[in-house]
């Protein structure tokens, strides 16, 4: 998507960690990054299509999507997003960058939707969606270097998933890093070094205990969360070591506990991070540093 004339910004479309939905609560993981005139979708959790439309994005201009890993809260709506863009008039190429397995995922989605795809090609004269989309599977290192946009990947620590990648986007001296899902991973500080913004996943220890009590999948869930995700204090440690200009806490666990609010997140992260801070919520717009604040922007 072209975002020419638009100030560089990050829009947090879905800010919760994990796939569960609760009444009135936030959506799973997806973001829109507008940088250097490009509009880039990062992760496609449930709700990404709704979020993009609400952010004012024209779906038929979709052209660049990145997936950090294939957990459902990051990929479940990849196919539905592209398909909805297609029925909205998409007729230009889309490239999806994702870990190994992304191509298989997309092909199987198209198979599942074969009836609808074939009938719309004939009935509505649409181009074949299977010819519009190319999937580029990446590993660690350089992912994309095109038209001034540079993207690099770092394998992070998200067991049992091995192909989970932090992403660093750079354009015209501006840089934004997404941690993806990861346990505390010190090499991320080097990878994020000096970035304008680090979007890091975060858990709140006391909230996790209440979440475990509520979901009734106790020991197993606690084990997974602690082995595979970062506490807010750990995200702050990475941001401090990296010397980033702003830390955005995202992929929040818990994200929908009425007993947990921004003050709790702030209190936890302030133990390790003294710089500019944003606590994510759905639809929040964060301007990149050096630019004037954009409409709807809120920071803390």
x/- map, 143-182, Zn ion, by CB under 5 A? --------------------------------------x-
Active-site hit among 43, 63, 73, 282 = 73
- Please list every residue from 176 through 205 that binds Zn ion, using CB under 5 A: 181
Give least dist CB 6 to Zn ion, A: 28
Give least dist CB 256 to Zn ion, A: 15
Between 117 and 232, CB nearer to Zn ion: 232
x/- map, 56-95, Zn ion, by CB under 5 A? ---------------x-x----------------------
- Residue 92's Cα: distance from chain center in Å? 23
The count of residues interacting with Zn ion (CB under 5 A) is: 3
Give least dist CB 274 to Zn ion, A: 27
Between 44 and 94, CB nearer to Zn ion: 44
Between 36 and 99, CB nearer to Zn ion: 99
Give least dist CB 123 to Zn ion, A: 38
264 flagged as catalytic: no
Residues across the chain: 300
* Three-class DSSP labels, the chain: CECCCCCCEEEEEECECCCCCCCCCCCCCEEEEEECCEEEEEEECCCHHHHHHHCCCCHHHCCEEECCCCCHHHHCCHHHHHHHHHHCCCCCCEEEEECCCHHHHHHHHHHHCHHHHHHHHHHHCCCCHHHHEEEEECCCEEEEEECCEEEEEEECCECCECCCEEEEEEECCEEEEECCCCCCCCHHHHHCCCCCEEEEEEECHHHHHHHHHHHCCHHHHHHHHHHHCCEHHHHHHHHHHHCCCEEEEEEEECCCCCCCCHHHHHHHHCCCCCCEEEECCCCEEEECCCCCCCCCECCC
Between 71 and 168, CB nearer to Zn ion: 71
Give least dist CB 250 to Zn ion, A: 10
Between 16 and 152, CB nearer to Zn ion: 16
Q: Which residues are catalytic?
A: 73
- Could you list the residues that contact Zn ion (CB under 5 A)? 71, 73, 181
């Amino acid at each position: 998507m072209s975002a020419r004339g638009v100030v560089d910004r990050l829009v947090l479309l879905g800010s919760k960690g994990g796939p569960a939905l609760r009444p009135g609560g936030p959506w799973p993981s997806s973001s829109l990054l507008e940088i250097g005139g490009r509009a880039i979708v990062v992760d496609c959790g449930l709700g990404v299509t709704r979020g993009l439309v609400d952010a004012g994005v024209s779906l038929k201009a979709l052209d660049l999507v990145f997936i950090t890993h294939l957990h459902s809260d990051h990929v479940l709506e990849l196919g539905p997003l592209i398909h909805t863009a297609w029925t909205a008039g998409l007729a230009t190429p889309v490239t999806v960058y994702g870990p190994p397995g992304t191509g298989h995922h997309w092909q199987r989605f198209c198979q599942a939707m074969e009836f609808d795809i074939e009938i719309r090609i004939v009935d509505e004269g649409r181009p074949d969606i299977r010819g519009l989309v190319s999937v580029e599977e990446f590993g660690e290192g350089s992912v994309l270097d095109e038209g001034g946009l540079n993207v690099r990947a770092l394998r992070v620590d998200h067991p049992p998933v091995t192909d989970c990648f932090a992403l660093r986007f750079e354009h015209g001296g501006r840089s934004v890093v997404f941690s993806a899902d990861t346990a505390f991973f010190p090499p991320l500080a080097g990878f994020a070094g000096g970035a304008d913004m680090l979007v890091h996943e975060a858990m709140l220890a006391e909230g996790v205990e209440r979440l475990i009590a509520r979901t009734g999948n106790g020991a197993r869930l606690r084990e997974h969360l602690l082995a595979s995700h970062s506490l807010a204090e750990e995200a702050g440690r990475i941001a401090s070591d990296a010397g980033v200009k702003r830390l955005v806490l995202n992929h929040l666990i818990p994200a929908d506990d009425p007993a947990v609010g921004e003050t709790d997140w702030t209190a936890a992260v302030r133990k390790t991070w003294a710089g500019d801070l944003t606590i994510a919520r759905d639809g929040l717009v964060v301007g990149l540093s050096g630019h004037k604040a954009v409409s709807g922007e809120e920071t803390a």
